[in-house]
Chain A
C-alpha cells in the first residue's frame, strides 16, 4: 500500500486503536497522558483543599487522603510526565525530525501504547475497588506488604508502564540509530532527538530495577516470601535502594526530553543557532546520562545506609550540577544575539528557564547529607521536586503542545487565551510551591500529612498555598479552553507558522500525511535544524 498517496486518511475508532502510524500512536499517548493529568490534577486540588484546615476539611478519613496522594504521585509521574514526553513527543517528533517515514518497529510501537493504556485503565481501578492502594508511589515495605490496601494494583500498573517504556525505548533508539535521512549526521540531530535518545537509554538500563523492586513486594505480600521482612533476614532498606536506583534516573528521563522541547522552542522563537551544540549534547545531555546512575542514595541519607556510601553519593550528587548547568548555559547562549518573539510557546519556555533555575538550585541542599537532616521528608522536598519536575516539565509539555499545535491539528490556537493561561499558571506555580518549600525548611513541616495540628505555625501559610493552587487550576482551565477553542474554531494554520528551520516544519505539510514526507529528504552539508543565519527565504523543498 502506498501510504503517501492515501489522500483520505481514515479515522474511525478501529483505525485509531489498531494504528501503527507513529503520529497516531503519539496522539494516543497524548490523550492518555492528558487524561492522567486531569485526574492527577483533580487529586491535587482535593489534597490542597483538605489542607485548608489542620484536621478534617473535606474528608474525615485519612486513608482517603492517602489514596489521593498515592494516585496524584503515581499518575503524574508514570501516567502523565513520562508518557507525554517519551510517549507523545518522542513518537511524534523523532521520525519527523530525523526525516524517517515511521519508526523502526511500528507494531512494537502499537504494543507499547496498548500496554500504556492498559496501565492507565488499571490505575483508574483505584477509584472502583474497595481497598485502593494507599502506599504512595514509592511503595516502601514493610508498610506496602502489611497494608490492607491493594498493593498489587500499584505493582502491576508500574510493571505495565515499565514494559511499555521498554518497548518504546527499543523502538525509538533503533529508529534514531538506523533511520536518519541521508545527510542527517549525528551532529545535525535536533537537541530533542538527542534528549530522547538519552532518556530511553536510561529507561532501558534502569527500568528493570523498578520492575525488580515492585516484584519483591508483590512476592512478599501475596506469595509469602521474605525479601523485605527483617525478622526473616530480609531488608526494607534493600527495596529502598533498588527503588531509587531506578527512580532517581527517572528524573532525568523526564528532565531531558523536557529540556529538549525547550531547546526547540527557544531556538525557533529566537531564530538562532543552539549555542555550543556539541557542548550541550556531549557535556550536558550525555553528562547527565552518565551521572544519573550514581546519585540514587541521596534519597536515603537518613535511613541506615552505610556512611561510606553517603560520602561518595554526596559528591556524585553535587556533581550533577555540572551537566545540568551546561544545559542551562546552552539555553541562555541560544538567546544571545537571537531575535526573540514572544508567542505562547516561548512564554512557557521563558517560564521554564526560571522555574528550572529555582528547581535546580534548590536541589543543591538536597545533595548535602548534613543539610538533609532537616530537609528529608519535609515540604521542602515536594516543593523542590515540583519546581524541577512538575512545574518545569509541565511548562515544557504545555508549551510543547502549543508549539506542535499547528503541526498536529493544522489549526492555530488563540494567542490571547494562551498568554492568559501562562500568566495564571506561572503565578500559581510560584505561590504554591515557593511557600511549600518555605514551610518545609523553616518549620520542618512533614510531607504526606493528613493533619498538622502539631505545626500551628503553618496554618495560615497552608491556606495561602491552597489559594495558589486554585490559581493553577484557573490557569489550567484557560489552557484547556484555548486548545478546545483552537480545535473547534481555530484558523487554518500556515505551513510553517513559526518560521522554523527544522525538518518537521520545512519538509512536510500540517498535519503530516501517513509516511510523513512525499519523499525522504536528502540533506546537504550546509543544512542544519537551527541554520537561521543564511536567509529566512523558502528553501528549495519548501513551497
Chain B
C-alpha cells in the first residue's frame, strides 16, 4: 500500500520541481555559455592537433633516410582500404562537426533570443562615434558611453547613420554589425557593476580605431538615479 502512494507523490514532486524551474525564467548568460563552449572546443581542437602532430613527428623521425640509395616501400592500398581511409576519417570528422554544430546552436539560440525583461538601448554608429539612446529613460542620449543597470539583461538595437560599423563588447563576448538602413540587435547580461571597453570592429575609415567608448554597468539604484537626473525635460515624447 505504501508503495502505491509513494510513486504518485514522487511524480508530483518532480512535476512541481519542473514547474518551479520553469516559472523562475532562468536567464542564461551568453558570456558564460561562450566560455563553456570555447573551452570544450579548445580541448577538441587541441586533442586533434596533438594527435596529428604526434603522428607526423613519429613518421618524420622513424622514416628518415638512413642510406642514400634507400627508397620508400609504401604499398598501393586496396580498393577496400582506400574507401575505408576516406569513409572512416570522414565519419569521425563528420561526427565531430555534427556535435560541435549542435552545441553551437544551443548557444546561438541564447544569443539570438532576447529575454523578455531586457532593458532596451538604441545604438547608432556614425563616423566616428557611438550614440546611445534610452527610450525607457525618456530619450536620454549619450555618446561613446553605454550606461546600463546591473542584474538585468540589456538589448542593444543597432543601426548606422553612414557606413558599416560593428559594435563589440569584448568582455561580454558579443558583437554585431551596424548596417545603414537596417536594424540589428545584440543582448548581454551585465550581472555585476563595472566598466568595460566597447569599440567598433568593422573598418570604417580614418578614425576607425578611435571609435570606442565604455559600457558602464551601474547598481540598479544608482542607474535609476542617473536616469532621473538626466531625463530630458518635457517628458518622454
Contact = CB atoms under 8 A, between A and B. Distances in A.
Interface stretch (A25-33, A358-366, A405-413, A426-434): A358-366
A307 B223 CA distance: 34
A532 B205 CA distance: 57
Given A230-B182, A304-B177, A279 B82 contact: yes
A211 to B, nearest CB: 22
A193 B122 CA distance: 55
Contacts of B52: 328, 332, 357
Interface string A126-164: 000000001010101111001100000000000000000
Given A143-B205, A304-B184, A450-B209, A354 B56 contact: yes
A337 B180 contact: no
A158 B77 CA distance: 44
A142 B162 contact: yes
Nearest to B61: A340
A452 B201 contact: no
Interface stretch (A82-90, A107-115, A312-320): A312-320
A318 B90 CA distance: 12
A443 interface: yes
A374 B34 contact: yes
A271 B86 contact: no
B53 A357 contact: yes
B85 interface: yes
Contacts of B59: 332, 335-336, 338
A405 B179 CA distance: 50
Contact of B177 (A303, A311, A318): A303
A140 B63 contact: no
Contacts of B202: 140, 377
A231 B94 CA distance: 44
B70 interface: yes
A138 B59 CA distance: 41
B17 interface: no
A446 B72 contact: no
Contacts of B89: 322, 325-326, 329
Given A354-B56, A455-B197, A273 B76 contact: yes
A278 B94 contact: no
Contact of B72 (A147, A271, A322): A271
B38 interface: yes
A336 B107 CA distance: 41
Contact of B63 (A270, A315, A378): A270
B82 A358 contact: no
B212 to A, nearest CB: 5
A29 to B, nearest CB: 30
A303 B158 CA distance: 11
Interface residues of B, number: 81
A451 B200 CA distance: 12
Interface in B129-167: 162-164, 166
Interface string B93-137: 110111011001101101110000000000000000000000000
B194 interface: no
Nearest to B200: A446
B181 A365 contact: no
A136 B203 contact: yes
| Residue of A302, A333, A451 with most partner-chain B CB within 10 A | A302
Interface in B175-212: 175-177, 179-182, 184, 197, 199-210, 212
B14 interface: no
Interface stretch (B2-10, B41-49, B224-232): B41-49
B209 A449 contact: yes
A278 B82 contact: yes
13 contacts: A62-B206, A231-B180, A235-B182, A236-B164, A322-B93, A337-B74, A357-B52, A364-B44, A368-B37, A369-B108, A371-B34, A373-B173, A446-B199
Given A377-B166, A378-B170, A454-B199, 9 more contacts: A142-B180, A230-B181, A302-B177, A332-B59, A335-B56, A336-B59, A339-B63, A455-B197, A533-B73
5 smallest CB-CB distances across A and B, nearest first, come from A230-B181, A444-B170, A272-B72, A370-B107, A318-B97
